[in-house]
Structure 1
Amino acid sequence: MFIQPWDAALDDAEWQAWIADGHDFGVLSVNGPSGRAPVVVPTHFTATDGALLVHLARPNPVWAAIEAHPQVTFAVTGDYAFVPGPWRTKPGTPPTDGVPTSYYAAVQFTCQAAIIDDAEAKAAILRHQMAHFQPDGDHAPIAPDQPPYGRMLSGIRGLHLAVTEVRAKFKYDDHKPVEQRTGTARRLTERGTGLDAPAASQQLRRLDRIGPWQP
């Protein structure tokens, strides 16, 4: 992922807060066999102690790829929006000369993958994920010897993805003039389609921290 200086995360706390703010669905990418395309799997995840936790169905073709190449990438993307060219036109320039762009936030984790097959360890992954996704606890106990989850554990495998590198990008025109960034956020809010509102929020949040861009 190419990151311009003005698109880089301002600190680790920025991307960590973004992930914690409901950005818990991503794409696992694993090198395929030599000469073949990578194996790519969309999935929910949870984070804990420098690692990402995932569970997938046992028939998933990703397992052979991980066994051959345990260094993987997990990518999370969100708060994206298309920004039309006229919104980015410099003063005194015809609106049609403006160049469009995409806004988005993205965090890519490089990880060392370990496959989990122990029943209790898989149950622990599920408990961690349920505590995040279903915190009210309105589910049956998750244990190898209790239904309904106990009998289902054999149908899944767990993944412990130890994070070795993090690359974070917040692409919101932070190198452009303050007036233009403010105007784009207003237009995104007014348009209000797709993820326009969260993209505008990210732009205003970055604007508040950065102000005028200083190379």
Structure 2
Amino acid sequence: MLIHPWDAPTEDGEWRDWLAVHDFGQLAVNGLPGEPPLVQPLHFAYDPARGAHGEAVTHLARPNPLWRALEAAPRVTLSVVDDYTFIPGPWHAPDGAPPEHGTPTSFYAAVQLHCTAHVVDDPELKAELLRRQVGHFQPDGGTAPVVPDQAPFGRMLAGIRGIRLEVTDVRAKFKYGGNKPAATQRRVTELLAQRSGPHDAAARTHQLRRLDSGAGTDH
């Protein structure tokens, strides 16, 4: 993923705060020789306090075709993309230029966690991994705890395998027109508010936040 200076996070807290509320991504695993890469959509729970770059945990069904490839090549990428929207060319037209001379582009936020994957098969460790996931997604409870050999979920543990993703590096990008003059960016924020498409409000919030923080190169 190419990251220009004006698209880079202003600090690690920017991508960590974003990732805390964006917990569905795609796990990319190298395929076996002669086969294409595997890409698995999944929910995950990320804990920034575990290890130098944090740790993510997830689980998949035992019949999933990903396992052989994951065990052969445990270096993987967990990719998360959201808050994306399309910016029409006229919105970015330079001052004094015809609107049709503006360049269309995409706005989006993306975090890629480069990881070493550890497969978890021990029942107790799997149960703890699941408790971490449920605790993230259901902090108020409402689901019985997972305990090996105990109802209601203990016997279901055999049907899944856990994955502990040890994060070794992070690539983060907030592409929201930071290379454009501040006046152009503020014009785009108003046009996003007027259009009010499915992801426009989130994109506008990012652009305004980064403008206020001084991110970008032309202000």
> Does TM-score exceed 0.5, indicating one fold?
yes
**Aligned residue runs from structure 1 range 188-207, under 5 A:** 188-207=192-211
Question: Equivalent of 2:187, from 162, 183, 189?
Answer: 183
The 8 Å contact of residues 5 and 216 in structure 2, kept in 1 or not, is answered as no
Deviation readout 1:151-204 (Å, 9 max, x if unpaired):
111111000110011000000011111111111112112211121110110111
Question: Equivalent of 2:162, from 158, 164, 175?
Answer: 158
Asked if residue 70 in structure 1 is aligned to residue 74 in structure 2, the reply is yes
The 1-side partners of 2:100 and 2:121 are apart by 57
The 1-side partners of 2:216 and 2:2 are apart by 22
| Corresponding letter in the other structure for 2:41 | P
Q: Structure 1 residue 97: deviation in Å?
A: 1.3
Alignment match, 2:101: 97
The 1-side partners of 2:216 and 2:171 are apart by 24
The 1-side partners of 2:218 and 2:184 are apart by 16
Asked if residue 134 in structure 1 is aligned to residue 145 in structure 2, the reply is no
Give 3-state SS (helix, strand or coil) of 1:157's partner.
Answer: strand
Moved over 6 A (4+): none
Deviation readout 1:24-65 (Å, 9 max, x if unpaired):
000000000123210100001001211110111111111101
The 8 Å contact of residues 103 and 171 in structure 1, kept in 2 or not, is answered as yes
What TM-score comes out, normalization by structure 1 length?
A: 0.96
Alignment match, 2:46: 47
The 8 Å contact of residues 10 and 215 in structure 2, kept in 1 or not, is answered as no
Aligned-residue RMSD, C-alpha? 1.3
The 8 Å contact of residues 28 and 43 in structure 1, kept in 2 or not, is answered as yes
The 1-side partners of 2:36 and 2:139 are apart by 38
The 2-side partners of 1:40 and 1:155 are apart by 21
What TM-score comes out, normalization by structure 2 length?
A: 0.94
The 8 Å contact of residues 87 and 104 in structure 2, kept in 1 or not, is answered as yes
The runs of 5 or more residues in structure 2 that have no matched partner are none
Alignment match, 1:15: 15
Question: Equivalent of 2:61, from 26, 39, 57?
Answer: 57
The 1-side partners of 2:210 and 2:64 are apart by 39
Asked if residue 148 in structure 1 is aligned to residue 147 in structure 2, the reply is no
The 2-side partners of 1:83 and 1:149 are apart by 47
The 1-side partners of 2:35 and 2:190 are apart by 45
Alignment match, 2:27: 28
Structure 1 residues 211 and 18: alpha-carbon distance in aligned structure 2, compared to 1, 3 A threshold: closer
The 2-side partners of 1:10 and 1:69 are apart by 33
Deviation readout 1:45-90 (Å, 9 max, x if unpaired):
0012111101111111111011110100110111100000000000
Give 3-state SS (helix, strand or coil) of 1:43's partner.
Answer: strand
Give 3-state SS (helix, strand or coil) of 1:204's partner.
Answer: helix
Deviation readout 1:128-172 (Å, 9 max, x if unpaired):
111111111001121112222111111110001100110000000
Q: Structure 1 residue 13: deviation in Å?
A: 1.1
Alignment match, 1:109: 113
